[in-house]
Structure 1
């Protein structure tokens, strides 16, 4: 075999390898896009986790409900904006007016998923609500949910070529903080991420937000 023929064969093999690699990369990309699309399409991510429909600890009784950014009613939008301002205006300082506009746009995005936290009406906090079955807890949430006391906003996105569940907001009213609810919600978020085959749970926190930094680093580790 002469050198030119050998060179042509090597060149042909190299081109085949490149095409194969491109094909593999495209197949992987399509699989990830399908994964994210499937996760985004499911409206009620809570449906698979009955044990997380209800939280009753440390004198606090709440229930959780799912929501989507493009399905929010005006009172809920107003509540989200008010709680964001209450919790975030301080850490952002002079940057808050600009950041508030960004958060308002993010709030109603169709890809935004929500977990809303409601107080449970007509339930004595001293009652042993932990004895409720999953179905009973779910019924209470639907029929007797009280006012909102917090929410989680999250999305399924691609981050550095990895499908992730990105937590945009975890906001709780001061009166329900420090009772284990935040940790409970993050455990649920991790389960939702795993169920949808996400590679990680991602969030960003301002270093100036010492309360949040302590929660994520010290309490959740």
Structure 2
């Protein structure tokens, strides 16, 4: 599904000239406002009707926006984090319920089918994707609108699914949705962190054309990269983001 992408505010300057303090402050203010507006949207999913349901390979689910305190799915992060998990657990649990955390929940009815409520258009109901009955939670995406290398990006903190929902195209579908949300809100990229030991996840994101970011430890300093258990991946949507997050250039 094609989505019109608006250009992010950018302060132009003559080639070779460093931006003035005023230009830097104006740019920062404009980018902060972009992130503020994106965070203020109550339901990003409602803007993408094509992503309200996923059906394929024997799987039929529907998607809902929500918050971390609604999670009922047992969160399995111990395996991908390995021996680092005991020291990371408290931080991760706090991240999941932070006010700035945004979620897409994947739910499935017990009979495997979704049935939407009939809507009264005169009543002004907006959330057409909201089902009549609560379904079984089979996965979620935790994402945030943040600043990375002075650029606005969507950062995917977690993407988790039950084994029964894996390997059926749902993961690709969810990442396509996140990318649409990023573009709609004029973010420069989608970024995420993957544990090196999670070779399956690394292969998945590589297939979706995510690359190791210039901000990843292995590219900042190869020696430090050897000591770290993770890589930072990104997919950029414009030349400025590509320059800073893929190529690692300080200036265009």
TM range (shorter): 0.7 to 0.9
Query: Using a 3 Å threshold, how does the CA distance of structure 1 residues 140 and 32 change in structure 2: closer, same or farther?
Result: closer
Secondary structure of 1:66's counterpart equals strand
Structure 1 position 217, deviation (Å): 1.1
Residues 1:52 and 2:32 are matched in the alignment: no
RMSD: 2.2
After the TM superposition, list the runs of 4 or more consecutive aligned residues in structure 1 that deviate by more than 2 angstroms: 120-125, 138-141
Instruction: Decide which structure has the larger Cα Rg and report it.
Output: 1
More helix by share: 1
**Equivalent in the alignment of 2:148:** 159
Task: Give the CA deviation at 1:145.
Answer: 4.0
After the TM superposition, which residues 25-104 of structure 1 pair with which residues of structure 2 at under 5 Å, given as runs?
A: 25-69=24-68, 72-73=69-70, 76=71, 78-79=72-73, 82-83=74-75, 85=76, 88-104=77-93
For 1:140 and 1:196, the matched residues in 2 are separated by 20
User: How many positions carry a matched residue from both structures?
Assistant: 184
Q: Structure 2: give runs of 5+ residues left out of the alignment.
A: 1-16, 120-126, 210-252
With normalisation by structure 2, the TM-score equals 0.68
Q: Which has the higher contact order (CA 8 A, sep 6+)?
A: 1
Q: Which runs of 5+ in 1 are unaligned?
A: 1-16
After superposition, the C-alpha distances for 1:52-80 in whole angstroms (9 at most, x for unaligned) are 000011110000000134xx24xx2x52x
Instruction: Indicate if the aligned counterparts of 2:46 and 2:128 stay in contact, CA closer than 8 A.
Output: no
